[in-house]
Amino acid sequence: MTEGRSGLFAAFSKGNLVSRSSLMEAFHDSGILEDDIRYLPLLKRLKSCSEQLTEADFQGLQECSPALFEQVLSGQLAIPQFHDFCADVEDIYDKVSLIKDGKLADYIPQLQRVDPEKFSISICSIDGQRMSLGDADDSFCVQSCSKPITYCLALEEHGEEEVHRYVGAEPSGKTFNELALNSKGLPHNPMINAGAIMCGALIKAGSESADRFDYVISRWRDFAGGAKIGFDNAVYLSERQTADRNFALGYFMREKKAFPPDADLLDVLDFYFQCCSIEASTKSLSIIAATLANGGNCPLTGVQVMRPDHVKNCLSLMSSCGMYDFSGEFAFKVGIPAKSGVSGAILLVVPNVAGFAVWSPRLDELGNSVRGVEFCRRLVSRFKFHTFDSMVGLTDDRVDPRRNLYASRFGGITALCWAAYGDDVAEMRRLVAIGIDPASHDYDRRTALHIAASEGKLNSLRYLLSLGVNINPLDRWGKTPLDDAEMQGHQGASSLLAEHGGQRQSAPARKNN
């Protein structure tokens, strides 16, 4: 520990002192915000220090928030290059904000009156790195984004087996409020209205409705790490007044004897309307999404809000049923567990990485936010966030932001060059199989082919040529692999390269030198 600490100090010090602003910058660039309760004690102390910190000051700071201090300064966070990641997300946000398609939900006046231009995106990584864009402080009713939480709370109280005696786990293939039950007379899944009404019936069933509501709101706040969660009474009253379909669903389920004994239908429906009327901003929703991404542990408070196995159940159903009638295509194209609501919100969970919340009220014909869906599509076209992007051997240009780009990219290239140097084709094949581009180059633009040529390693050369890599890449000195092979007097390597179209570029290179 002591060794680690002095290592950190050495990394940041200049003339045996560390500048206070460099530390604050490190926290800021990592996405650790000033209202983060893990950071507050450290920040308070930091602000009371002078600009130049001694090693003793530095250790004093470290003791305020030891885990966070070490994580941030040694770059051990879920998204190491957070700053670059945010710049990419901002670029997506700017492009998506130009989209004006879609219509506001109009079944209640409160949703019809929302400014259609509103747009915000918030991110919270599983290490509590946060960023928001647009109207991220505006609150809106969460609508169906409440369904995953209602399901989690039902699971917590009764366990998977009992909950699924009352609700299925299959996509319905029908619209979210379709008057339809499965072959057992149960709701198809917890992510559609009938299923959420049913899960609500399982939460604190014997309690007074006021106590139950208090309980649910307090659990929402646990998920959100204490961030603001409110309630929109006007939405609730409207929901209740225009709820013919939900009443019909409730009566249909009662007729089928689907509810647990003693469930009071009107009370259960009322609870469902209350859940739809919970109010949040994308800032708070992204923390909820991050808690789900982090196996139920809130990244900001460290509180285990929900059991990981229950979170797993919830994410599975979000994956297959979370985006209304678009769920299958969304799972195919985007491949991230998500839940959307008719207020234009989308809760997006990238397991073990981050939670996202998007809000833009204009909806497509299926009830999903137009900009929200486009944001998700663009997100996975830039980042390897699709559930199956971890597939071995899958290579493309997209970025995996959870890896330290420098360490992973250059670590891979270095390994490939060492394998070429050792003429170890099996190791080269393994590296290529895990996604290392055989044509990649290091800082000096040296490729594995340059190394194999310089060292006269024929097996490596043959292997690289069989992969169809560019035979004449130029390193920073303008040299091709054939130049290297000839310069080192490797006859066999020179002939092999020449046979495959290898060329000399050494003349202009020497001029450059």
Footprint of ligand GLU (CB under 6 A): 143-144, 176-177, 193, 239, 246, 276, 341-342
Minimal distance, residue 331 CB to ligand GLU, in Å: 18
C-alpha 63/C-alpha 210 separation (Å) is 43
Closer residue to ligand GLU, CB minimum distance, 177 or 282 = 177
Strands (E), 135-287: 140-141, 230-231, 278-280
CA distances from 276 to 182, 234, 268, 391 (A): 24, 12, 13, 37
Minimal distance, residue 258 CB to ligand GLU, in Å: 17
Closer residue to ligand GLU, CB minimum distance, 140 or 176 = 176
Minimal distance, residue 194 CB to ligand GLU, in Å: 10
Give the chain's length: 513
Closer residue to ligand GLU, CB minimum distance, 298 or 346 = 346
Closer residue to ligand GLU, CB minimum distance, 173 or 302 = 173
Query: 403 CB contacts (<8 Å, ≥6 apart)?
Result: 80
Closer residue to ligand GLU, CB minimum distance, 249 or 263 = 249
Minimal distance, residue 193 CB to ligand GLU, in Å: 5
Looking at the chain, the number of H-run helices and the number of E-run strands are 24, 11
Minimal distance, residue 114 CB to ligand GLU, in Å: 13
Q: Which residue has the tokens 């309307």?
A: 273
C-alpha 94/C-alpha 88 separation (Å) is 10
Closer residue to ligand GLU, CB minimum distance, 26 or 366 = 366
Minimal distance, residue 228 CB to ligand GLU, in Å: 20
Closer residue to ligand GLU, CB minimum distance, 43 or 253 = 253
Query: 493 CB contacts (<8 Å, ≥6 apart)?
Result: 452, 453, 456, 457, 458, 461, 485
C-alpha 293/C-alpha 300 separation (Å) is 13
Minimal distance, residue 173 CB to ligand GLU, in Å: 16
DSSP-derived letter for residue 119 is: -
Cα–chain center distance at 358 = 12
Closer residue to ligand GLU, CB minimum distance, 144 or 189 = 144
* 3-state SS class at 468: coil
Minimal distance, residue 364 CB to ligand GLU, in Å: 13
Minimal distance, residue 195 CB to ligand GLU, in Å: 11
Minimal distance, residue 366 CB to ligand GLU, in Å: 11
Closer residue to ligand GLU, CB minimum distance, 271 or 385 = 271
Over the range 71-85, which residues count as b (16 or more CB within 10 Å of their CB) and which as e?
Answer: bbbeeebbbbbbeeb
* Helix axes of 40-48 and 20-29: crossing angle, nearest 10 degrees: 150
Query: 384 CB contacts (<8 Å, ≥6 apart)?
Result: 390, 398, 399, 400
Closer residue to ligand GLU, CB minimum distance, 71 or 144 = 144
CA geometry: angle 371, 372, 375, nearest 5 deg: 85
Closer residue to ligand GLU, CB minimum distance, 171 or 341 = 341
Minimal distance, residue 265 CB to ligand GLU, in Å: 15
CA geometry: angle 88, 354, 79, nearest 5 deg: 60
DSSP string of 242-285? T-HHHHHHHHHHHHTT-SPTT--HHHHHHHHHHHHTEEE-HHHH
